[in-house]
Every structure is written in structure tokens, then in C-alpha cells.
């Protein structure tokens, strides 16, 4: 693990319990379908091929991550998660479906983007229903804050994109503000039709039951303008 997080307060709290069967699956499949626990993660070396690479931050039970890997077999797909029951579920499906284009990163997303990815090595980043930490005193735990945005930019190719879906209006507005005020030239635009996911995850189902609206945010990294004078 890196010696520092991007901010001193983590954006998650571990609450998990694995059954005996899940422990066995975790220990058996983890070495086969995960990135190394330390060091630089080079997608072309990890997947043994050169291809566009997408990262999902905090994939939970893995519904959208698995769907992405199945819909885009030509992509290298990486999922970042610290919740072991979700990791076990994904590893089990990857093994049963023989998904050679999907691998898991067991680490804090802030640390991964801080120093574990080569610069401009990723084409797209997606995050579905990141923890909104709705109580005001907990807003400091939100992942998408000002210090995190330059790390995303550094990892993305020019023209790369970030897609975020949340059901908390306050968080959606905060995310838009931090991208808009970032040093990097981000452009917010409508979500492309090819990036619409119809998967109903646990968090989406929970939001629907509560009657909350969805806020889909899409940002593209533009190259800096150079003036030839």
C-alpha cells in the first residue's frame, strides 16, 4: 500500500464478514484474477495485450463491472474495491465465465490513482453510486473532492472520460463544481448513448424505492490548448 492516502480520512469504512465458503473462494481465486497488491499496475502487462482500459471505482457486488466486461470484450476492464464479499462475487463470476478481460484491484481508489497507474494509461473511469456520505459532518469522506480530480486526469489519456452516477443531488452538484474548478480542461457533456447502463444494482434499486432521482455526470478530458505564435 502507498504510504499516504490522497486525503487523511478514508472514503469508506470496512464492514464485512466472509463465510467459510467465501474465504475459500477468496484465497483460491484471488491470485488468479487480481492485480498485484503493491507496485505499478501496467494494463498491457497485466492483461498481456494492448487495448483500451476502463476502470470502475467501487464496484460493490460487481453487477456493472461484469456487464461492462461482457459488453466490451475488446477492452481491458479493471475494478477497484475493498469490500471483500463483492470481490469474491466478481472473482467467482470471472472464473465461471472465463472473462480474460477483467481483473480486480484490491486497494483504496485514492491510493491507486495517486501512484499505482502509469500516466495517461486509462481511457475511461466509471463510478456508479459512490458513497454520498449524506450527513453534513461526513461530507469530508466523499471521494470526489478537489484533491482527487488531478489524479484522475493524470491517469487518463487525452480525450478520456469519467462517468459518475449518483442519486444524491448535493453530491452531484459538488462533483460538477470540483471538475469545473479543476486546473485540467474538463468538459462536461451528456452521457453518450453507448455509455447508458440498464443494470439494476442494489444501490439503484434502493434509490428507486426511496423515490430519488438519478444524476448522471460525464466529463471528458481535453488536451491543453497550445498557442503557436
Q: Could you tell me which of 167, 162, 159 has the C-alpha nearest to residue 200?
A: 167
Alpha carbons within 13 angstroms on the beta-carbon side of residue 82 total: 13
Give the pLDDT confidence of 83-130 residue by residue, as tens digits: 999 999 999 999 999 999 999 999 999 999 999 999 999 999 999 999
Answer for the pair 153, 143: CB distance below 8 angstroms, yes or no. no
Give the pLDDT confidence of 38-95 residue by residue, as tens digits: 999 999 999 999 999 999 999 999 999 999 999 999 999 999 999 999 999 999 999 9
Q: Is the dihedral of CA 194, 166, 161, 77 positive or negative?
A: negative
How confident is residue 13, by pLDDT bands cut at 50, 70 and 90?
Answer: low
How confident is residue 14, by pLDDT bands cut at 50, 70 and 90?
Answer: low
Give the pLDDT confidence of 186-228 residue by residue, as tens digits: 999 998 877 776 667 777 777 777 778 889 999 999 876 544 4
What is the rounded distance in angstroms from the CA atom of residue 111 to the CA atom of residue 109? 5
Beta-strand ranges (E) seen in 31-155 are 53-57, 76-81, 102-106, 122-128
Domains of the chain from N-terminus onward: 17-34+47-107 (3.40.50.150), 120-229 (3.40.50.150)
Radius of gyration of the chain (CA): 17
Report the percentage of the chain scoring pLDDT > 90: 71
Report the SS3 class of residue 61.
Answer: coil
User: In this structure, what C-alpha cell is assigned to residue 138?
Assistant: 461526513
What is the rounded distance in angstroms from the CA atom of residue 29 to the CA atom of residue 147? 34
Enzyme catalytic residues: 131
What lies within 8 Å, CB to CB, of 207 at 6+ separation is 129, 167, 214
pLDDT score of 12 more than 80: no
Q: Could you tell me which of 36, 55, 54 has the C-alpha nearest to residue 45?
A: 36
Torsions phi, psi for 159 (to 5 deg): 85, 0
Amino acid at each position: 500500500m502507498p504510504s499516504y492516502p490522497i486525503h487523511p480520512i478514508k472514503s469508506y469504512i470496512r464492514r464485512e464478514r466472509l463465510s467459510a465458503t467465501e474465504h475459500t473462494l477468496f484465497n483460491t481465486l484471488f491470485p488468479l484474477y487480481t492485480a498485484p497488491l503493491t507496485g505499478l499496475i501496467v494494463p498491457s502487462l497485466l492483461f498481456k495485450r494492448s487495448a483500451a482500459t476502463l476502470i470502475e471505482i467501487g464496484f460493490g457486488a460487481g453487477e456493472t463491472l461484469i456487464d461492462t466486461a461482457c459488453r466490451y470484450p475488446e477492452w481491458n476492464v479493471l475494478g477497484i474495491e475493498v469490500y471483500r464479499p463483492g470481490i469474491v462475487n466478481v472473482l467467482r463470476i470471472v472464473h465461471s465465465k472465463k472473462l480474460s478481460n477483467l481483473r480486480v484491484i484490491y486497494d483504496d481508489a485514492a491510493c491507486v490513482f495517486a501512484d499505482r497507474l502509469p500516466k495517461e494509461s486509462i481511457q475511461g473511469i466509471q463510478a456508479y453510486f459512490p458513497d454520498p456520505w449524506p450527513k453534513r459532518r461526513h461530507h469530508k469522506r466523499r471521494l470526489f473532492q478537489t484533491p482527487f480530480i488531478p489524479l484522475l486526469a493524470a491517469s487518463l489519456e487525452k480525450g478520456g472520460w469519467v462517468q459518475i452516477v449518483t442519486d444524491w443531488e448535493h453530491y452531484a452538484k459538488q462533483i460538477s463544481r470540483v471538475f469545473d474548478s479543476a486546473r485540467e480542461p474538463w468538459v462536461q457533456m451528456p452521457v453518450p448513448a453507448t455509455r447508458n447502463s440498464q443494470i439494476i444494482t442494489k444501490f439503484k434499486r434502493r434509490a428507486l424505492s426511496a423515490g430519488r432521482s438519478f444524476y448522471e455526470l460525464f466529463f471528458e478530458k481535453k488536451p491543453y490548448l497550445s498557442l503557436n505564435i
